[in-house]
Structure 1
Amino acid sequence: MSTSTVQNRPAGTPAVRPAAGSGVNFLRTLHAEWIKFTTLRSTWILLATTVVVMVGIGLLGGWGVGSGLEELAAEGQDPAAVGLDPQLLYMMTTGGIDFGQLIIGSLGVLLIASEYSTGMIRSTMTAVPDRLSPLFAKALVIALVAAVVGVVSSFATYFLMQPILAQYGQEFGLDVENLVPSMLLSGVYLALASLIALALGALMRNSAGGIVALVVLFLIVPMVLGFIQLDWIQDTLPYLPSNAGRQLLALQIADGDLTQLQGGLVMAAWSAVLLAAAAVVIKRRDV
């Protein structure tokens, strides 16, 4: 309160003080971001689509492998001879992660890029002048939701797949080595993917541009570099975010591959670096 305000206040009038606990803080910012996130119809559509796609692809994959194994057994053929490993069934619990990451990633991009498109970002930054709190609040919201979606989708795939596999005598239990950790870590994978997507949305400030950048980074770049048979390029492939992140889901680690911890740390480093870049851009650029 300025000196002139104090001098102009009528005698005997008590000074107006802010109410205890009022003002902007991170918890209030987080609550506001949660409200914005949960009240948009597109949020629920994309979340439902992510679950349906992940579960659907896993079930289709389980049905395909199970029926294939039954046909080979009926013909007396060795599945290994035709490249059909029965352990592929275990991987189907997280088989839809490649498509799921793109859908949940699109939600991460839209979470911030749509505010730039509509101009709502001005209201957000006016309400929270430090600018970084909204970014970190959005990051926490999308990461937690993505983690839950990943875990729920993986376990739903497992339980729904067992009756299908039972027709072929291929059902399996949760005691398969590393199966439960893999399904739990699918949530970590989607959380990190959503953070990368959020950062891309903040950097691009455009929904379409952010989603395209996400697809390029997670899908196109690994595919293209995989065709380039140069040693130094092949040596970098394991450190791309999607390739490193998939090690979190691996049931067995081959010699020379990144471990689950290493793969998770590499993907976490991608998300941290991109979020840091997004924070710098948000802090310095005009809205």
Structure 2
Amino acid sequence: MTATSGKTGATHRPASFIDAVAAEWIKIRTVRSTFWTLLAGIVVTIGLSVLLASFFVSTFDRLTPHDRAQFDPAAYGLVGINFGMVAFGVLGVLVVTGEYATGMIRTSLTAVPRRPRLLAAKALVLGLVVLVVGEVVSFAAYFLSQLIFSGKHLDEGLGHDGVLRAVIGGGLYLTLIALLALAVGTLLRHTAGSVTTVLGLLFVLPIIGSFLPGDFGRTIRKLLPSNAGGAVMGTRPSADMLSPWTGIGVFALYTVILLAAAFVIFQWRDA
């Protein structure tokens, strides 16, 4: 009887954080939606960067001297990130809302009753996966676009001032977008609503901000999430953007605030 009790106790050992991370890793690499969403992000980011680089080179001779002087090879080579980030945002949402949609969240909470531990495991696995994929995508978009720019001798190597930071920053930006989307998905628990909210934060707010007048409007535009985060990918100073590290820092702060809110709500709200 004692042996049986001991065996039962071992079987029902509370899941550790490592167990939770291992479970989330299995989920994220076996769910089909994860693969297709990541693939979409990769294709869109690299594909649009290459396409727009080719278009720019084909029209370069018709540009004004002012436009040529304003050209930023690194930032322009990473422009696909501004579109591919939609897929990474959707991935962040699906990591949590997918379980709410199928009811699997109850199983997850049964296996890992400590809710902060479960959400932290989701955030860690998602962050690491997107960081690795995001950096690969960012470097691929950069190298391919610079190869195209080299036809007009417009390319800039990683050794140029700010270029390496911009390329690494592209991957960091995608990672923060995915984590911000995870937080929104946790707060709203609904896929369509969460995706709409994330797209609103990243795309609609800058449109609204563009109509704000004067110095006040310029300041607000700098601080909007996508404008702040995207500043890390520029290598030319701009009066309309925050400095690169300040910008990504502001975007990271938005992400941390939303994640903190998500942890609090997730802890106390019913599944």
TM-score (norm 2): 0.91
Q: Check conservation: 1:65, 1:84, Cα contact below 8 A.
A: no
Unaligned residue ranges in structure 2 (runs of 5+):
none
Task: Give the 3-state SS of the residue equivalent to 1:227 in structure 2.
Answer: coil
Task: State the alpha-carbon separation in 2 of the partners of residues 250 and 165 from structure 1.
Answer: 17
Aligned mate of 2:113, from 129, 140, 147: 129
Q: Name the structure 2 match of 1:41.
A: 32
Q: Name the structure 1 match of 2:43.
A: 52
Task: State the alpha-carbon separation in 2 of the partners of residues 268 and 169 from structure 1.
Answer: 35
Q: Check conservation: 2:72, 2:236, Cα contact below 8 A.
A: no
The CA deviation at 1:249 is: 1.3
Q: Does 1:64 align with 2:55?
A: yes
User: Comparing 236-245 with 256-265, which one deviates more in the overlay?
Assistant: 256-265
User: Comparing 227-236 with 208-217, which one deviates more in the overlay?
Assistant: 227-236
Q: Check conservation: 1:93, 1:154, Cα contact below 8 A.
A: no
Equivalent AA in structure 1 for residue 36 of structure 2: I
Matching of residues 175-214 of structure 1 within 5 Å: 175-214=159-198
C-alpha change, 1:16 and 1:46, in structure 2 (3 Å) is same
Task: State the alpha-carbon separation in 1 of the partners of residues 39 and 242 from structure 2.
Answer: 32
Task: State the alpha-carbon separation in 2 of the partners of residues 215 and 264 from structure 1.
Answer: 18
Q: Does 1:30 align with 2:21?
A: yes
The CA deviation at 1:131 is: 1.0
User: Comparing 206-215 with 156-165, which one deviates more in the overlay?
Assistant: 156-165
Unaligned residue ranges in structure 1 (runs of 5+):
1-8, 73-77
Task: State the alpha-carbon separation in 2 of the partners of residues 237 and 162 from structure 1.
Answer: 29
The CA deviation at 1:37 is: 0.5
Task: State the alpha-carbon separation in 2 of the partners of residues 86 and 232 from structure 1.
Answer: 25
User: Comparing 235-244 with 182-191, which one deviates more in the overlay?
Assistant: 235-244
Q: Name the structure 1 match of 2:80.
A: 96
Task: State the alpha-carbon separation in 1 of the partners of residues 11 and 100 from structure 2.
Answer: 33
Deviations 1:210-251, CA, capped at 9 Å, x for gaps: 000000011001111211226434422222221111121121
Task: State the alpha-carbon separation in 2 of the partners of residues 221 and 283 from structure 1.
Answer: 30
Q: Does 1:270 align with 2:254?
A: yes
Task: State the alpha-carbon separation in 2 of the partners of residues 86 and 166 from structure 1.
Answer: 17
User: Comparing 234-243 with 265-274, which one deviates more in the overlay?
Assistant: 234-243
The CA deviation at 1:256 is: 7.8
Q: Does 1:80 align with 2:80?
A: no
Q: Which has the larger radius of gyration?
A: 1
C-alpha change, 1:167 and 1:14, in structure 2 (3 Å) is closer
Count residues with an aligned counterpart. Answer: 269
The CA deviation at 1:115 is: 0.8
Task: State the alpha-carbon separation in 2 of the partners of residues 219 and 25 from structure 1.
Answer: 39
C-alpha change, 1:230 and 1:122, in structure 2 (3 Å) is farther
Q: Check conservation: 1:222, 1:237, Cα contact below 8 A.
A: yes
Q: Does 1:160 align with 2:144?
A: yes
Equivalent AA in structure 1 for residue 27 of structure 2: K
The CA deviation at 1:32 is: 0.1
Task: State the alpha-carbon separation in 1 of the partners of residues 233 and 156 from structure 2.
Answer: 18
Task: Give the 3-state SS of the residue equivalent to 2:213 in structure 1.
Answer: coil
Task: State the alpha-carbon separation in 2 of the partners of residues 172 and 212 from structure 1.
Answer: 37
Q: Name the structure 2 match of 1:75.
A: none
Deviations 1:31-52, CA, capped at 9 Å, x for gaps: 0001000001111111111111
